[in-house]
A and B are shown apart, each in its own frame.
Chain A
Amino acid sequence: MNKHKINEKPHYLNPYFGGVLLGLLVVVTFYITGRGLGASGSVKSTVVTTVNAIAPQHAENNPYFSKYIPKDKSPMNNWLVYESFGILIGGLLSGVIYGRIKKFRIEHGKHTTSSKRLIFAVLGGALFGFGSQFGRGCTSGAALVGSASFSFGGVIVMLGIFGTGYAVAYFFRKLWI
C-alpha cells in the first residue's frame, strides 16, 4: 500500500466545489424526475430479487419483501437500481481520470489489521442496511435529499446519523486513528 506524506495528498475536487455540484445535481434530479437520489434502495431490490429467485413462495408470504415484488416485472427493474449502476460507472470514471483505480486493496487505520477491518466493514454494513429500512433511506435518499427538500424525516435522519456517529466514535477510535 502506498504511503503518502501529508503534503502529497491525492487529487480531489475542492470540497466546496464538489458540494455545489452535488447540490445542483439534487436540484436537476428533482427537476427532471420529481424525486431524489438514493443508494440503499438498490440493495433492497437486490435482496428482494435474490429471495424471490431462491424461495418465491417465502418471498410472497413475507410482509416486507412482498411489498417490493411487482406483479409484471423483475424487482430489479427499478429506478434506483439503474441509478446505482450509474454510481458504479461514475465512480469508475472518476477513478480512471484521477488515477485511483488500482488492484484490489483493503484500506484501514494504522492500528488495525486488514481482517479486523473487513469484519467491521461487514458488521457496519449490516447495521447500516438494517437501520436504513427503519430510516426509510440512507445518507443519500434520506439525509441528503430528504433534508434538501425540507422533509422533516430527512432532517431527523441526518441529525441522527451524524449525532450518533460522534457519540460512538470514541469506542471505535482504534479502527481509524
Chain B
Amino acid sequence: MGPLIPNEIITGDWNFVIAILIGIAFGFLLEASGFSSSRNLAGVFYGYNFVVLRVFFTAVIVAMVGLLYFDYFGWLDLSKIFILPTYLSPMILGSVIMGIGFVMGGFCPGTSFTAIAIGKMDALFFAIGLFIGIFIFGESFPLFKDYYYSGSMGNVTLTDVTGIAAPWFAFGFTVIALAAFWVSAEIEKKVRKNTKEYKF
C-alpha cells in the first residue's frame, strides 16, 4: 500500500533515481504541451491562448479524482501524503507577487527549465531572476521573519477548513473546470479572429 517509499515498500536508496525519472516525465509533459513558450503561457491572460488553463485544470481535477480513487481502493493512504501547510496571509502575498512575476516574466519556474532546455534565452534570464529573487528574500529575511511565520494553520486541507468532504471539492472543481474550458474556447475564437500571425 502506498505511498511506497514512506511505507518502505521501495527503499529510500531509490529516492533520487525516482526523482530524476519523475522529473523527466514532468519536463516532457510541460514541453510537449507547449509550456516552453512564454507567448503560449502569457496567452491565458490575454485570451489568445488558453493552453495553460486547459492543461492545468485538467491535471488538477484528474489528480484530485485519482487520489480519491487510490484512497478508496486502499492503494494510497491519504493521511500519509504531504499536505502543503497553510500560512494564510504570507501565502496570499506570495501568490500576488508571483502573479505579477508571471505576467512580467512569461514563465513560472518549472516551465522556464523546459524552455531553457530547448534554447530560450528569455527563460534563462527568468531563471537567473529566480535565483536573484530568492537570494534577496534570504538576505532580507530577518526584516520579515515574524510575518513569514504568521497566519499558520498547519497542514490543513479544504475539508479541515470548511467541513465539506473532499469528493465535493473534486466535483465542484470539475464543474468549474468544464465551464471554464467552454467559456475560454469561445473567448479564444473571438480573440484569434483578429490575430493574423503567431510567432513562436
Determine how close the nearest CB of chain B comes to the CB of A56; give it in whole angstroms: 14
Measured in the bound complex, the distance between the Cα atoms of B112 and A168 in whole Å is: 21
Evaluate contact between B113 and A84: CB separation under 8 angstroms: yes
Evaluate contact between B2 and A165: CB separation under 8 angstroms: no
Q: Which residue of chain A has its CB nearest to the CB of B97?
A: A131
Measured in the bound complex, the distance between the Cα atoms of B86 and A160 in whole Å is: 14
Measured in the bound complex, the distance between the Cα atoms of B110 and A141 in whole Å is: 10
Interface residues of A in 143-158 (CB under 8 A from B): 143-158
The interface residues of chain A lying within 8 Å CB-to-CB of B59 are 19-20, 22-23, 26, 144, 148
The interface residues of chain A lying within 8 Å CB-to-CB of B127 are 43, 125
Evaluate contact between A132 and B109: CB separation under 8 angstroms: yes
Measured in the bound complex, the distance between the Cα atoms of B107 and A63 in whole Å is: 29
Evaluate contact between B22 and A34: CB separation under 8 angstroms: no
Evaluate contact between B116 and A175: CB separation under 8 angstroms: no
Residue pairs across A and B with CB atoms within 8 Å: the count is 555
Measured in the bound complex, the distance between the Cα atoms of B86 and A150 in whole Å is: 11
Evaluate contact between A135 and B103: CB separation under 8 angstroms: no
- Main secondary structure, interface of B, reads helix
Measured in the bound complex, the distance between the Cα atoms of B94 and A161 in whole Å is: 9
Q: Given A32-B4, A124-B104, verify A152-B137 contact (CB < 8 Å).
A: no
The residue in B30, B114, B145, B192 that gathers the most chain A C-beta atoms within 10 A of its C-beta is B114
Interface residue count for B (Cβ, 8 Å)?
A: 133
Determine how close the nearest CB of chain B comes to the CB of A136; give it in whole angstroms: 6
In the complex, per-residue mask of A58-91: 1 if CB is within 8 Å of any chain B CB, else 0: 0000111100000000000001101111111111
| Size class of the A contact interface (CB-based, 8 Å) | 35 or more
Q: Is B72 an interface residue (CB 8 A)?
A: no
Evaluate contact between A148 and B63: CB separation under 8 angstroms: yes
CB-contact partner of A126 in B67, B101, B166, under 8 A: B101
Measured in the bound complex, the distance between the Cα atoms of B197 and A29 in whole Å is: 39
- Pick the 7 closest A-B CB pairs, nearest first: A86-B23, A124-B105, A125-B129, A19-B58, A160-B95, A164-B99, A90-B27
In the complex, 15 of the A-B residue pairs with CB atoms within 8 angstroms, ordered by the A residue number, are A16-B181, A19-B54, A23-B63, A32-B10, A80-B19, A93-B27, A95-B117, A120-B104, A148-B64, A149-B157, A150-B67, A151-B155, A153-B85, A161-B98, A175-B106
Chain A residues proximal to chain B, CB less than 8 Å: 1-6, 9-10, 12-13, 15-16, 18-40, 43-44, 46-48, 50-51, 62-65, 79-80, 82-95, 97-98, 100-110, 117-118, 120-169, 172-173, 175-177
